[in-house]
Amino acid sequence: MAPSPATTFASTKLIVHDLEKMAAFYSEAYGFDQTGRVQAEIAGEPIDEIFLGKSGESGGGLILMKYVDRPAAENGEVLLVFTTHDIDALFDRVRAAGGAIYVEPFQSDVVPYKAGFTTDPEGHLIENVELPS
C-alpha cells in the first residue's frame, strides 16, 4: 500500500441551532473571537457558519454551523475538548455565559490531570482538562 499524501487537521465544525447564541457562549466562556462568517449552500441546502478562533494562535479553530431550514440537531455527535490552567475559573465563565456543569472538576485517577465536563446552552458535551502548571 502506497503512503497517502500528508494531511493536516483543519478544524472542528459543530452543528448548532441558535448560531448567534452559541457564538456568544463560546466567545464568553472560552475566549474565542469571531474570525469570519459564511452563508452558503451544501447540495442546494442553505447553511450559515461562524468561524471562531483566538488571535495569536495557529491551528484549527471552531466553526459553528447551522442548517438554515432544518430543525435542531441531536446532541452527542461530537465531544469538544478544551484545556486550561484554571478549571475552576473556566467553570465560572461557563456558568456566567449560560452553559451548565455536567460533571464538576475532579482529579483523574487515570491521568495526572484535573478534568470536568460542561454543556453549552444547547446541551453539547464539553470535556475540560486542567493542565499541570
Question: 49 is written with which cell numbers?
Answer: 457558519
- Residue 20 inside a domain? The answer is yes
Question: 105 is written with which cell numbers?
Answer: 472538576
The pTM of the full predicted model, rounded to 2 decimals, is: 0.80
Per-position pLDDT tens, the chain of length 133: 565 566 566 678 899 999 999 999 999 999 999 998 999 988 888 999 999 998 877 666 899 999 999 988 777 678 888 999 999 999 999 999 999 999 999 998 777 889 999 999 999 989 898 988 7
- Residue 32 inside a domain? The answer is yes
Question: Domain range holding 65?
Answer: 12-130
Could you tell me which residues are beta bridge partners of residue 62? 12, 52
Question: 91 is written with which cell numbers?
Answer: 467553570
- Other CB atoms within 10 Å distance of the CB of residue 129: 16
Q: What CATH number should be reported for the domain holding residue 57?
A: 3.10.180.10
- Under 8 Å CB-to-CB from 81, ≥6 apart: which residues? 126, 127, 128, 129
- Residue 95 inside a domain? The answer is yes
- Residue 112 inside a domain? The answer is yes
